[in-house]
């Protein structure tokens, strides 16, 4: 075997300049001009920024609440999105109602912005239900667990949109690790070949469980789609405005018959992969701290603090101050969390009969036979044991 170590770039590769990281808000909250993105941000106001601040604050709170609920044994598992708020809020804020979202397990913030009740997410991750929302109301598919598989579903959905001459687009969310899967690459081939209205939204959060993104890609992930014939953009995923603008741009291209676009949102998973993971086993404190300094919420706050003027007004016409923004966001988060806790107390676990539900759309004699066997089996036990038997 050769001696090339996994982490040294292969020699002899022609040097191609890396595309810039598109950034509109610096970590310090300064607004930077960006030729490609600025046209998509002309409607940005202080009120709108306050709204994005609120949404990011609420989903961060939702995320921490659910992480705690898992630790308290209320949820079986939870995949934290901490650190990825701007990627999720910025992209979801760009979507129209009729656009269709194909998420992975981590897009709980996107789900919230699609109108999913946080309690729906809790019910789902607790196992009280298989569906925490009505997809017809939210245009949000079920969360995908098989890495990358949803990218193909988004392409198929977009093929249908194109056939229907619809104005809507499909968007597929996935991670940096997913870009190594055949499904994601094949999805790009199909999307390019059929020129369908789809956005591939990759949250490069730098880790796939314990594997760093450098194991998946020697160059920027956003370099790869070009080879499939898909324009790509690499944006600061902790910059909610950059993400919003890039997603708007990609969606608009899709709506206007411009075909697929790929967005690499460069962000960082601040928490564990899931509540079952211990990230201190594979990454350094320094790395995490360096990313903490690029916090997506802090930078919006810094920006607002520096730019709000006496003439900025809140929805009620009162003066919009940074304190007011902070307070409004914190109140919204508190209200969401309180409702979540109250709702949690009323959740009912599914009864044993749920075992045979939704295996087929239509009744089915084999399933009916199994259900009957199971009923008879449970009936063998007395009341007390019946519970234990179902347990």
Contact positions vs Mg ion (CB under 5 A): 175-176, 205, 208
Site string for ligand TPP, 271-290 (x = CB under 6 A): --x-----------------
Integer angstrom CA distances of residue 82 from 85, 260, 341: 7, 28, 20
The gap between the terminal CA atoms of the chain, to the nearest Å, is 52
Candidates 4-12, 32-40, 115-123, 174-182; binding stretch for ligand TPP (CB under 6 A): 174-182
209 vs 338, which CB is nearer to other proteins? 209
In what order do the strands lie in the sheet containing 261-266? 100-102, 170-175, 198-204, 261-266, 232-236
Reduced to 3 states (helix: H, G, I; strand: E, B; else coil), residue 332 is helix
Among 31, 298, 374, 386, indicate the residue that binds other proteins (CB under 8 A): 374
Residue 145 touching ligand TPP (CB under 6 A): yes
Candidates 28-36, 90-98, 254-262, 353-361; binding stretch for other proteins (CB under 8 A): 353-361
Instruction: Give residue 48's Cα distance to chain centre.
Output: 21
Mark out the alpha helices in 75-148 (DSSP H runs). Answer: 85-94, 108-113, 118-126, 135-138
Tell the smallest beta-carbon distance from residue 66 to ligand TPP (Å). 15
168 vs 263, which CB is nearer to ligand TPP? 263
Residue 359 touching other proteins (CB under 8 A): yes
Active site residues: 269, 273, 282
Interface with other proteins in residues 72-131 (CB under 8 A)? 76-77, 126-128, 130
Tell the smallest beta-carbon distance from residue 181 to ligand TPP (Å). 7
Tell the smallest beta-carbon distance from residue 57 to Mg ion (Å). 23
Question: For residue 347, which of 143, 135, 125 has the smallest C-alpha distance?
Answer: 125
**Taking CB within 5 to 8 Å according to partner kind, which of Mg ion, ligand TPP, other proteins, none is near residue 106?**
ligand TPP
Tell the smallest beta-carbon distance from residue 348 to other proteins (Å). 11
Q: Rounded to an integer, what distance in angstroms lies between the CA atom of residue 101 and that of residue 115?
A: 12
Q: Judge whether 87 and 243 are in contact, CB under 8 Å.
A: yes
Q: Which residues of 63-97 are buried (b: 16+ CB within 10 A; e: fewer)?
A: bebbbebbeeebbeebbbbbbbbbbbbbbbbbbee
Integer angstrom CA distances of residue 212 from 145, 148, 179, 327: 19, 17, 13, 37
Among 175, 225, 271, 272, indicate the residue that binds ligand TPP (CB under 6 A): 175
126 vs 224, which CB is nearer to Mg ion? 224
R_g over Cα of the chain: 23
40 vs 190, which CB is nearer to other proteins? 190
Q: Judge whether 268 and 238 are in contact, CB under 8 Å.
A: yes
**Taking CB within 5 to 8 Å according to partner kind, which of other proteins, ligand TPP, Mg ion, none is near residue 363?**
none
Chain residues that interact with other proteins, rule: CB under 8 A: 1, 5-6, 76-77, 126-128, 130, 145-148, 177-178, 180-183, 208-211, 215-216, 281-282, 349-350, 352, 354-356, 359, 366-367, 370, 374, 377, 380, 389-391
Binding site for ligand TPP (CB under 6 A): 106, 145-147, 174-178, 205, 207-209, 269, 273
């Amino acid at each position: 075997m050769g001696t090339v170590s996994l982490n040294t770039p292969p020699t002899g590769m022609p040097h191609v300049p890396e595309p810039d990281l598109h950034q509109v808000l610096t970590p310090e909250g300064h607004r930077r001009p960006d030729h490609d993105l600025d046209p998509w941000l002309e409607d940005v106001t202080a009120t709108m920024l306050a709204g994005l601040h609120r949404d990011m604050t609420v989903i961060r709170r939702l995320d921490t609440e659910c992480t705690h609920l898992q630790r308290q044994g209320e949820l079986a598992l939870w995949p934290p999105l901490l650190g990825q708020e701007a990627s999720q809020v910025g992209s979801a804020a760009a979507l129209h109602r009729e656009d269709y979202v194909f998420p992975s397990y981590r897009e709980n913030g996107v789900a919230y912005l699609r109108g999913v009740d946080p309690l729906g997410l809790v019910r789902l991750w607790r196992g009280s239900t298989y569906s925490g929302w009505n997809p017809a109301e939210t245009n949000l598919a079920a969360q995908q667990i098989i890495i990358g598989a949803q990218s193909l579903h988004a392409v198929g959905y977009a093929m249908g949109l194109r056939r229907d001459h619809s104005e809507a687009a499909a968007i597929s969310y996935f991670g940096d690790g997913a870009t190594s899967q055949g499904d994601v690459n094949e999805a790009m081939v199909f999307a390019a070949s059929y020129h369908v209205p789809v956005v591939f939204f990759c949250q490069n959060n730098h880790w796939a469980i314990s594997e760093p993104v450098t194991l998946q890609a020697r160059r920027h992930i956003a370099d790869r789609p070009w080879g499939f014939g898909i324009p790509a953009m690499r944006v600061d995923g902790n910059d909610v405005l950059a993400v919003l603008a890039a997603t708007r741009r990609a969606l608009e291209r899709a709506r206007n018959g411009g075909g697929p676009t790929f967005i690499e949102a460069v962000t960082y998973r601040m928490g564990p992969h899931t509540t079952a993971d211990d990230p201190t086993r594979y990454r350094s404190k320094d790395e995490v701290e360096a990313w903490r300094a690029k916090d997506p919420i802090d930078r919006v706050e810094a920006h607002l603090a520096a730019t709000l003027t006496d003439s900025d007004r809140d929805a009620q016409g009162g003066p919009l101050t940074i304190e007011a923004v902070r307070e409004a966001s914190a109140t919204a988060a508190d209200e969401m969390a309180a409702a979540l806790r109250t709702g949690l107390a009323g959740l009912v676990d599914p009864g044993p009969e749920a075992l045979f539900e939704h295996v087929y759309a239509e009744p089915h004699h084999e399933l009916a036979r199994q259900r009957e066997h199971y009923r008879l089996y449970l009936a063998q036990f007395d009341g007390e044991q019946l519970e234990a038997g179902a347990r």
